[in-house]
A = this chain, B = another copy of it.
Amino acid sequence: MSESYNLISQQNYIAQLAVDCVIFGYRKGEMHVLLPKLNFQGDFWTLPSGFIHQEEDVDDAANRILEERTQLTDIYLEQFHVFGKAARTNTAFMAELLRLNPDLQGEKAEFDWFVRRFVSIGYYALVDINKVHPQCSYLDEKMEWMPIKNMPTMIMDGQEIVERALLALRANFDDHLVGYNLLPETFTMKELQALYESVFDKPFRRNNFQKMILALNIVERLEKQFTGAANKAPYLYKFIPA
C-alpha cells in the first residue's frame, strides 16, 4: 500500500488541492470507468484520487496516482478541468468516514487537514482493461469497472467529474487518436464503430462511419492474409501513428 493513501500532513502535500482520475477502459462494446467503493456503511462510490507532493509537478502526481491504482506505467493522460466549487467537499461525510474507519485514526492535525475544502484537478486516462491490476486504498472496500451507461451513486461531485471527462474525451477523440489506447493493435471497422458509438452514445450509419474515418486519415487498412476463406473475413485496420 502506498503512503499516499495514509492520512497526510501539511508538510508533505499541498493543502486543499487534490487530483481526481477518471480511468476509462473499453470492453464488450461499452466504455467503463474504474471506481473504488468506499469501505463505509451504505453504497458509496468515488474516484481514484490523491494529493500533490510539495516538490512534485501536478502532472507527475496524476501519473503517480494512476500507476499506484492500476500498476500500469506510461498511461495516456489528459488534464481536463478544475472542480472548484466551495461547497463541493462534503466535509461532514469525510469526517464520518475517517471517524468510523479504524485504519484511519491519525493525529488531530492530520484529521483537520483532511476534512477541509478541496479544489480538485481532473485528469482522464485511457487504458487497456486487460492490463490493469486495480489497487484498493485504505479507504476502499473494492474497485470495479462500471459501465458509463449504468453508473453507481457517487459521493460529492463524482458524477459531474465523470460527465465532464466524457465531454473532454469526445472533443479530443479524433484529433488525439485516443482510440489507440482502447482497442487492440488491429481491429475491424465494425469494432471501431462500436467504440465510437459507446463514446459518443449514438449510432453511426455504417457507410457514413467508414467514410468519416477514412477522411480523418487516422487508420490504415492491412493486407488480407491469404487463406481459403479470405474473402469472407473483414479487413483489419490499425491506427496510423501521429
Contact = CB atoms under 8 A, between A and B. Distances in A.
A142 B241 CA distance: 48
A16 B51 CA distance: 13
A175 to B, nearest CB: 9
A116 to B, nearest CB: 9
Q: Can you tell how many copies of this chain the complex includes?
A: 2
Interface stretch (A77-85, A186-194, A204-212, A229-237): A77-85
A121 B84 contact: yes
Contacts of A117: 14, 54
Interface stretch (A38-46, A55-63, A68-76, A102-110): A55-63
Interface residues of A, number: 22
A139 interface: no
17 contacts: A14-B16, A14-B117, A14-B119, A15-B16, A16-B17, A17-B17, A52-B84, A52-B119, A55-B86, A58-B85, A58-B119, A59-B84, A61-B84, A79-B82, A82-B82, A84-B121, A171-B171
Given A52-B119, A54-B117, 18 more contacts: A14-B17, A14-B119, A15-B15, A15-B16, A17-B17, A17-B119, A54-B86, A55-B86, A56-B86, A57-B84, A57-B85, A57-B86, A58-B85, A59-B84, A61-B84, A79-B82, A82-B82, A171-B171
